[in-house]
Structure 1
Amino acid sequence: MTDPVEPADTDTAALPLPDGAGADGVEVVCLGESMVTFLPSRPGRLADVPSFARTIGGAESNVACALASAGHRVRWISRVGTDGFGDHLVDAVGAYGVDVSGVRRDPGRPTGIYFRTATDRDTAAHEVAYYRAGSAASAMSPRTMAYDDLFAGRVLHLSGITAALSADCLALMRDLTAPRPGRPSVSFDVNHRPGLWRDGSGPDVLLELARGADLVFVGEDEAASAWDLHGADAIRAALPEPRTLVVKRGSAGATVYEQGARGAGPADTVTSVPALRVDVVAPVGAGDAFAAGFLSATLRGLPAAARLRHGHLMAAATLTVAGDLGTPPSRSRADHLAALDADAWGTLRLGPGWTAEAPEEVRTP
């Protein structure tokens, strides 16, 4: 497709948000499983790696941690075991400033863990060994979750990973994406993981859930894999229901489709922003970081191009570190970079440590 020309930034975020934060100040609630992650001490097959460093990983908790680091009030809701790994997860996520009061402990089920290689997940050499079957998080259901906690913020952020964990988790996701009074705006990251959908139902389920959300994030690559849809326009044609659709297009950047402003008719406003040039250390977690950056800018009422740029900047903070979570730039720093003109944006090149540099120190060719 031909990239749309960026329109003038005359409108603020089109995503309908309840005014203010929740009763206890929460802006975003993130629901989903987080696991203790073991990162290899060196490249190679899992069979050959001698030791691993412990960290945390989970799509929704990654978003929560990134948003909290960017200064937002965020609650992460999940279930973990009463084991040491569960203790570590709750402590580690809470250390980012995330409210973890909604995490429940399950004495009968373990906390999930996984090991992965250092190689890119898109390569044949990439290995991941999950130990999450029967985990505490897989017992999330409409019966075990407190809806007052889930609906406490302006935005409820979900991902397609949760739906794949169990039949109970899928029932919860269907309930949360169904229209209902008092539901906050629902943000949904498709996060298609074919390996989690052993019965092959993933594509249909993910399309169903996405159609019930207000804001949807999806990659062109995963839309092609899951739905045989090619190009951002084709994805929007298949997903007309969400008020805001963000299509991540890899090195080409990202495009956001937004339904017309209230009372202005149904026509979409389409905005595209090119990706940044980044010296990538590891790609894992970049999609979650992009979602956090976009959500942060949405909560602040910024226009479409700025929201996409903040997504790219937050993703760059994660792409330039080894783990799932990078340290985001300060808000003033991110605003400075997001406000650059098109030529200056196009010459940015960000590498490890860039979030600690002053604006004038960002490397250019």
Structure 2
Amino acid sequence: MTHGTLVWRPADGPVVCVGETMAALAPTPPGPLEGARDLRVSVAGAESNVAMYLAELGRPVSWLSALGDDAFGRRVRAAIAATGVDVTGVRTDPERPTGLLVKDPGPDRTRVHYYRSGSAASALGPGVLDDERMRSASLLHLTGVTPALSASCRNLVERALGSPQRARPYAVSFDVNHRPVLWPDGTAATVLRDLADRADIVFVGLDEAQGLWGSDLRTTGVRGLLPRPRILVVKDGARSATAFGGEGACTVPALRTKVVEPVGAGDAFAAGFLAGLLDGGDLRRALRLGHITASSALKASADHGPLPDTDTIERLLELTDEGWAGLEPTAV
């Protein structure tokens, strides 16, 4: 199905993203960590990635979290603020450190080593949702990383999704974002399915869904497992993404892109899709903006890459289906 009609969308208004962001170290130039002479410092966090892309796409957005009272924490805060994200609600924890991750690029994939146990953000809890920014939010964005960090973090997500959809003052977006290393007890499949099925908007990769809930799953089967979200987006890697909304579904092919580093592309896609919805677009337009934003992340070695200019984005969004499918990698 290729219907672009949208039955429901969040109210137009500010977005709040909640979750941990870490300082990130990566070899430069990219290559195996053990042979690296220099490491580049950047920031890495699923929810703040979404926030930064939303800000660059012109959406008012805040990021809520906690950072250590340390150099990494100050660097993370400054980097995110520089993109236009409101970080004034981010708490500085005088006792716990900022989390750290180290990337180890290889010929087939990039391994990521986390040093986040006992981090400032792992102490986040349901009280974050009492922040004054939540009173004017139209959308809250969460990911499956947060409930894996600690019991208090899981309580935060449980509270956000505890009310029925129609009773919430804002919509809730949830990216499944399964990180197996964070779920050593084997509870990920059950917990993430339960949380996702209570959200208004859900993002999940097809391969991710297959790893969690069954290797024979297909796109429509994921909708069968998650019937309650108002909008479900299933991303099929470099092939396409399908959005289920109301009675219909819309599939848009992914852009052909020369991949430098895949990490962060899912967050970029989520930001583009959400921006498209909040701007009043239908599913087709939102999916296209998701692909455009993801393409910018795929072409960068950091989690966050530069977007095309506004005129280029608008031109791409207005292409015919044939024009979109025929785009060359150099066109975005």
TM-score, normalisation: structure 1 = 0.86
Structure 2 equivalent of residue 39 of structure 1:
26
Distance in 2 separating the partners of 1:271 and 1:290: 15
Distance in 1 separating the partners of 2:207 and 2:135: 31
Distance in 2 separating the partners of 1:241 and 1:147: 27
Amino acid corresponding to residue 46 of structure 2 in structure 1: A
Structure 1 equivalent of residue 62 of structure 2:
75
Q: 1:223 is matched with which residue: 209, 213, 237?
A: 209
Query: Structure 1 runs of 4+ off > 6 angstroms?
Result: none
Structure 2 equivalent of residue 275 of structure 1:
254
Distance in 2 separating the partners of 1:303 and 1:145: 29
Q: How many residues align?
A: 329
Q: 1:176 is matched with which residue: 133, 149, 160?
A: 160
Unaligned runs of 5+ in 2: none
Distance in 2 separating the partners of 1:146 and 1:86: 23
Identity within the alignment, %: 42
**Structure 1 SS opposite 2:266:** helix
1:151 shift after superposition: 4.5
1:244 shift after superposition: 0.3
1:101 shift after superposition: 1.0
Distance change (3 Å), C-alpha of 1:169 and 1:151: farther
Cα deviations by residue, 1:182-206 (Å, 9 ceiling, x for unpaired): 4310000000111100111111110
Structure 2 equivalent of residue 17 of structure 1:
10
Structure 2 equivalent of residue 64 of structure 1:
51
Give runs of aligned pairs for residues 46-61 of structure 1, distance below 5 A.
46-61=33-48
1:146 shift after superposition: 2.9
Distance change (3 Å), C-alpha of 1:34 and 1:203: same
Structure 1 equivalent of residue 151 of structure 2:
167
Cα deviations by residue, 1:110-138 (Å, 9 ceiling, x for unpaired): 00011102337xx4x63222110000000
Distance in 2 separating the partners of 1:326 and 1:292: 13
1:321 shift after superposition: 1.3
Q: Is the 8 A contact 1:29 1:152 kept in 2?
A: no
Give runs of aligned pairs for residues 287-302 of structure 1, distance below 5 A.
287-302=266-281
1:78 shift after superposition: 0.4
Unaligned runs of 5+ in 1: 22-26, 260-267, 352-361
Structure 2 equivalent of residue 317 of structure 1:
296
Q: 1:110 is matched with which residue: 83, 97, 104?
A: 97
1:16 shift after superposition: 3.9
- The alignment's C-alpha RMSD in Å is 1.6
Would you say 1:140 and 2:124 are equivalent positions? yes
Amino acid corresponding to residue 78 of structure 1 in structure 2: S
Q: Is the 8 A contact 1:46 1:127 kept in 2?
A: no
Q: Is the 8 A contact 2:18 2:142 kept in 1?
A: yes
1:176 shift after superposition: 0.5
**Structure 1 SS opposite 2:33:** coil
